[in-house]
Every structure is written in structure tokens, then in C-alpha cells.
Amino acid sequence: MPAPKAPVSRPEAHAWLVTGPLIVLGVLLALPVILSSARPFDYNLKYAPVLLAVAILAAYAPLSFEIRRQAVTVHMNDVAILLMLFYLSPVVAMGVRLIAAIIWLTTSRMGIHKAAFNTASYFAGMAAAADVVVIALHPGHSTDPWTWFVLALAILANNLVTLIGVGCVITVMQGVGVLPALLRMAVPTQAVMGVNIVIGLIMVLTLEASRWGFVLIVALVLVLGVVYRAYAKFWRQHRSLAAMYALTREVGATNHDGTLPDLLLGRIRALIAANSTTLWLPPQGRHQEVLLSARIEYSGLLDNAPTPDLFRKMALRTGATVAVGPKMGPPDLRAALQDAGGKDIIVVPLRSGGVAIGTLEVAGRLGGGPVFGPEDVRLIETLAAQVGVAVENSRLVDRLQYDANHDALTGLANRRRMLEALGEAMSGRGPREVVAVLLFDVVALREVNDSLGHTAGDKVLVEVAQRLTSLAPQGALVARVGDDEFAIELRTASADAAAAVADTLRAGLRDPMVIDSLTIDIDTYVGVAIYPEHGAEPEELLQRAHVAVHVAKSRGIVQVFNAGLQSRAVRRVGLAADLRTALAGGELEVYFQPKVALRDRRLVGAECLARWEHPVHGQVAPPDFVAVAEHTGQLARLNGVVLREGIRRARQWADAGRPLAVAVNLSARTLGDADLPLQIAELLDEHGVPADRLILEIAEDEGLLAGGRALPTLDRLRDLGVRLSVDDFGAGRSSFADLSRLPVQEVKIDRSFVQGMATSPSDLAIVRSIVGMARNFGLDVVAEGVESELTLGLLEDMHCDMGQGFLFSRPLPYERFESWLQVQTAGDPAEAPAGEVRWLRAVP
């Protein structure tokens, strides 16, 4: 459906393009009347003053009625013209009509251009009517049907000339687009003309039957005037109430679908019979300025107003109604309105909770004579109260809809809106496009919350949101879909292109952030999933991006989803119930991997590692069942199984003359359990194992170094005598300054650096630095991943304390570990003290 064209608005001076030809036409039509010697009737000039008064009264007293819910305005000018044509000579009739028009136009304070056009229009119309009388009527008084017909034809000629003149001037001033509306208005006008002709003929017949009929006509007019006055008051009140009821009902039926301004402004403009109605809402919060106008010559809404801003700004500032017209308002405002080309205006402030939020304005009462009065002011104020409630309700619904689709902290779209956007993008993608979801998981946000408080954590999230919004490609949607998760929906060429965008965004997020004068480094894990390759539904696509993020956490890269990742994730879900059964039935087995002192090749301990042989899936990787335990609340039971088995074996080795320490991995989540130290103390007492024989290893990337909630537990474990070790050191972002604040005694270098130190100078430098710094801090150092003699030699040269890896042994079940001990420590006790590893041989 094409949009409505904007109305043409030309200066009033252009009306002279029609006024001039109308004057010429009027003169040409008047010439036959002036030059004609025919006298159809016996004229009497004494009727001229009376008929002049009748013509003036008809101009000033239009009658309005409602017929079948349609408002009809009746002007009695046709009655006056018919009486003048019957009782006066055509020349005198034209003069009386012209004088009456001039008097009415002068007292109505109409502009010079409009007054000139109306005068020319009335004169030309009356001249056409007089021509009909001169040509068609014969001399002598007569009230026969032929006279009726001629007088009716004269009135018709007058109206046709007037209608043509109005049509021409409207076309010149506002364009041809308004002609259909003019033609629609002409139909009821002709019906009113027919009624006026009948009334005029009845009055003629009455007066011709008896001059005393004039008294009856005057009495009837007075009675009808009183009745009409009462009817008009009742009708205005009824129409106002009906309009307000209809307005309230239709506002409720809009469902806040964007049609509210059209409905409000159109209804109010028609009710007040104004040339324009304007709604103005200044900027407020996230709401932009609204300035919309409904005008009689335009079927839609315009985003400008035909009146100056002065009036609406004054109403908003003072909170009071501003009404300006010929008889209303201070002189300076009337002058300002006149300079702007306006006739009258009413501006009422819209209120919400006692505060002015905008204005409702009506301007330019339709019709040449009427202007706005006190009753109109009261009506507009009543309507403004309705409009204020409607606008506030609309904004409330808009705010609720906004809140339902946006995150309160960052202002980004939320998970719900992201899923909707994904569905829209999937249905509208191009033939060579894919729809990608980039899921960002903010690393170590919990540590920021624990160390600096949740306010600082919120600021980090806001900063991440702002960076993603500024860095994201044009057209992409950025959303916050979890506590520390952000998603981006975009259309791109391929999965590789999406991964490249993710790399760029991740690099941009790594720039240091300044939060409360502190510089914070933030990293993210990123998972990528694309449609249609990785999923056919929005929820499925986002879930698979989550799977990719989980894998990215262990690899430290941008991870694109693949089917293998999904099968692993689905398998984990299925393992939850089986793990519970395995823990209850003792199906998990604890393996042991030796820890060797590199200085004298003496076996000093073993790390306890859980293993699970699933009856269907076979060997389950430890990261998989540990993740299942964490997410299903079984982590404490899993830790308890490993701790109990490790401590029990330490007791057995001590009884056999091998006092070995046992190391057990714990997660940072486990350290949040305040009862953990008590449980460990009970296990140590139960088996009679000294506390220093137990080493608890906590991975660096699991939040150990943030302190916070874990620090009290760590202090209690230290006081108990248990040794604490930082596992996988170097793989995270921690420093020795962080370690110095924690009660740890040992550092385990991440295997990735140890395995690469024989071939990579950078890895060698990292290991050398860790060993040197640890010795300066008084910490023992364990190197994981020792798999070659060359690596072992380099570690010995650095004076690394202990080593652990396949060069010594793989993790072994208890029986095989015992066999390994017998083989590796066999020999002459005098030459090889108990526990010394004499041959460094890998055990398959």
C-alpha cells in the first residue's frame, strides 16, 4: 500500500490565481442582469433592508445536526438568496447579497486573501443565479410550479459556481490530492441545498397568501431557535461523551501496535472540527522526541506541526493550558499566532503522575466564522487527560516489552531476544550465507567478584558489552545470554569467516580494562556454531555453541562446533546416573603415578588419580566424569573416594617401611566446603597417617589464586599440617606475587612447558624462570610430563626438586604400582636406600 503523499502548502497569496478569474466571471455574469430591461415582478425596494438582515442572520447562524451518527451543518444562505430573488430585482438582489457578504467577512476577521476570494465567489454565484431568473422567468408575480423550478435552478447555479471556485482555490493551494475529499463533502451539501429550497418556497407561499404570515414565520423561527439552542447543547454534550467513550474503547483495542497516535489525533481532530491536531512528547530517557500532526488535508500523520513551538513549550513549562484566539489569550501571543498565519489554538499539557510529559494541541477551527471557545478548552483538557493515560500506558507496555527482551545491567538483548533474532535470521538468510552464533564466556569473572566485589564485576560486564557492541560487524546482534556469557548473531560466508570474527573480537576484549583505578586483564573462551550445518533450531544452535565453549576452555582457542563434540557432551549427560551407581558400588579405581626426587632419584610419593571403566563406553576420560560429578553434585563423593583410598595406601606403605606421601587433586569448588578440613582430619586420624603425608593439589585455572571464599579453608588445611600444591602452574594468569599471599608449599609446572622445553627455547625459559622464582620463595617445584632423558637432564641442571612423568611410570593400579616398586627399588640396601629409583624405565 503506497504511503500517502505529503500535502502541498502554498502561501495564501496564491489564492489570487482563482480570485481574479472569479471577479472577471462575476462581472461577465452580472452584465446581462444589469443591461436587461426585463422586470419579471413588481419589485418593492422596501423589502431590501429586511432581506439584508435575513441574509446576515443566515450567515451568522449555521445549524448543526446529527443524522444517523453523521454530523450535518446547515447554512440558511440559500433561503435568503431565494427570498431576495423573488422579492427584489436581480440587480438589487446582487447588491444586497454582496453587502451581506462583506459585512460578515469583515466582522469574522478573515485574512485579506481569503476574504477577497469569498467575496468574489459569493458575487459570481449570485450573478449566475440572477442570470437564471432574468432568462427563465416572465414578467408578473406568480407562485406557480414553473417559478419554483426557476428559483431552484437559480439556487443550484449559485452553489455550482461557488463549489467550482472552492475546488479551484483548494487545488491551487493544496494540490489535486484533496479533490476527492471535497467531492465527498459536496454530496451532503447538495442535499442541504434541496432542503433550503423547500423551506424558502414554503416561506414565499406563506407570505404571498397573507402578509401576516410574516408574523407566523418570525414566531416559528424564534421557537425553533430556542429549541435548536437546547438541542445543540445536548448534542454537543452527547457527541463529546460518545467520542470520549469511543476513544477510550478504541485505545484499549489498539494493543499498543503503533496505531495509537493515528487513532488519537484523527479522532480528536474530527471531534473538535480543527484543521490540525498535534501530539508532542519531548525526549525522555531512552524515548526520543515525538512530534506528530493530523491535518484535514492529509490522510496520514506528519512529523511536523503547522504552529510555532512557542505555545507547546510554554504549556509544558508552566503546566497550564495555553488558549489563543481572536478573543482569547494575551496580546503578545495573539500577535505571534497571527504572524504564524494561525487563527486560533489550544495547547493542553499531558500529565503522568502529576508531571507534564508532553502536550496535546488543536489549531484552526474549521469554517470561516467559528473559533475555539471556553467549551472547547474544557473538552480538550478532558481529552488530554485520556491521552496522557494512554501515552503513559503505551510507554509502560513498551518498557515492559523492552525489559522482557533486554538485559537490565548491560542494555543488550537477552537470551529470549537472541533466540528470536536467530529464528528471524535463519528464515531470511541468503543462499550463500550462514547464520553464526559466537558465544563468549568471560574468564575469571568470579575471581573479580570475590576480590573486588560484585560492583566491580558488573562494571567488567558492562565494559565487555560495550566492547563487543563496538567491535561487532555491522548488522550483528550482541546479547547477554548468561551471568558471564555473551552471544553474537551474525550472517557471514562460512564457519571459518565466523571463527575469524571471533578471533578479532576476542583480541579486542584482551586489552586491559581500568575498573575503579585498577587495571584488569580479561580473557574469554569462544565457541562458534553455524546454521544450517550445526543445527536447524535457534535453541539447538545456541546449545551447540555452549558445547564448543566448554571444549574451548580446555584448549584455550576459538572452538568451532563439530559432531564429535556433541557426541561427547551427550555422552556426559548419559554418564550422570551411571556415575552415581559407580560411586555407590565402588566401581571407580584409584591409580598411582610416582613422584621422584631428582637430586638423589629417590621415590618420595605418588599422585592418586581416579579411573573409571564403564561397562558400555569403556574407559571414561577423567575430565568427562569429573565434569559430570561437578554438575550433578557428586564431586564431594568422588573426592572422598580418592582421598580415602590414597590415605589408606599411605598407611600400608608406611607399615611396609616406605613412608610415601600421596597427592590428591581437588577443585576450587571443593575448597568452598567449610567441612572439608574436618573430613580430612577424620580420615587421617582413622588411618593414623601424619598430615604432612597428604598433599592437596588445586589447579591454578580453577580459582585458587583468587583467594576469597577458598582462603579460609586453605588456612585451616595448612594449620592441620596438610601440604598444599598449585597444579598446572604457568598455564593461567597467576604470578608468584599471588602465590605469596597463599599458604602453599609446592608448585607443579604445567606439563605443556616441560614436554616442550627440550625443543622450544621459550618453554625452556619459562620452566627455568618458574624453578628459579619458586626456590627464591621457598617453594618446592614438581615438573609434570617428564618423558625423556634430555628433559630430565635439563631439570636436574636447574635443580628442580621433583619430577613426574612417563619416563618414570604411567599411572598404575595399586597392584601394578606395587610390582613397579619392587622392580625399581630392588638391590643391595647398602647401595640403594629404600625407595631409591635405580632404573628409570617407563612402564607400559
Query: 523-563: per-residue pLDDT in tens?
Result: 888 999 999 888 889 998 998 898 888 878 767 778 898 87
Q: Which residue has the higher pLDDT, 399 or 128?
A: 128
pLDDT at 273 over 50: yes
- pLDDT for the residue 604: 92
pLDDT at 636 over 50: yes
- pLDDT for the residue 136: 79
Which single residue is written with the C-alpha cell 421557537? 223
Q: Which residues are paired to 436 by β-bridges? A: 490, 530
- pLDDT for the residue 471: 92
Long-range contacts of 645-651 (CB under 8 A, 24+ apart): 645/590, 645/608, 646/590, 646/608, 646/694, 647/683, 647/684, 647/686, 647/687, 647/689, 647/694, 648/687, 649/590, 649/592, 649/606, 649/608, 649/814, 650/687, 650/689, 650/693, 650/694, 651/687, 651/688, 651/689
pLDDT in tens, 557-595: 788 988 766 555 555 666 777 888 888 888 899 999 999
- If 0-12 CB within 10 Å is exposed, 13-18 middle and 19+ buried, where does residue 44 land? exposed
CB atoms near residue 106 (< 10 Å): 11
- If 0-12 CB within 10 Å is exposed, 13-18 middle and 19+ buried, where does residue 11 land? exposed
Taking each helix axis from N to C end, the angle separating 145-174 and 16-35, rounded to the nearest 10 degrees, works out to 160
Question: Is cis: bond before 532, omega within 30 of 0?
Answer: yes
Phi-psi label, residue 304: left if phi above 0, alpha if psi -120 to 50, beta otherwise: beta
Degrees to nearest 5, angle at CA 323 with 320 and 328: 130
- pLDDT for the residue 37: 54
Q: Which residue has the higher pLDDT, 581 or 397?
A: 581
* 98's grid cell: 454582496
Confidence of residue 795 (pLDDT cuts 50, 70, 90): very high
Q: Which residue has the higher pLDDT, 166 or 218?
A: 166
pLDDT at 373 over 50: yes
Question: Which uninterrupted H or E stretch holds 829?
Answer: none
Report the pLDDT averaged over residues 455-480: 91
Confidence of residue 128 (pLDDT cuts 50, 70, 90): confident
Amino acid occupying residue 186: A
- pLDDT for the residue 41: 44
Q: Which of 800, 804, 842, 805 is nearest to 824 (CA)?
A: 842
Please report, rounded to a whole number, the percentage of residues in the chain having pLDDT higher than 90. 20
- pLDDT for the residue 7: 47
- pLDDT for the residue 571: 59
Which single residue is written with the C-alpha cell 473559533? 371
Amino acid occupying residue 655: D
Q: Which residue has the higher pLDDT, 628 or 534?
A: 534
pLDDT in tens, 699-737: 765 455 444 567 788 889 889 999 999 888 876 656 666
Q: Which residue has the higher pLDDT, 203 or 676?
A: 676
Q: How far apart are CA 574 and CA 186, in angstroms?
A: 80
- Does the pTM surpass 0.85? The reply is no
568 within 8 A of 614, measured Cβ to Cβ: no
pLDDT in tens, 19-30: 888 888 888 888
Confidence of residue 139 (pLDDT cuts 50, 70, 90): low
Contacts of 114 (CB under 8 A, 6+ apart): 12, 15, 368
Contacts of 594 (CB under 8 A, 6+ apart): 603, 605, 606, 804, 808, 809, 817, 820, 837
- pLDDT for the residue 4: 46
Amino acid occupying residue 136: A
* CA-to-CA dists, residue 93 to 33, 127, 386, 689, angstroms: 11, 9, 51, 131
* Rg, C-alpha atoms of the chain: 48
Confidence of residue 108 (pLDDT cuts 50, 70, 90): low
- pLDDT for the residue 125: 84
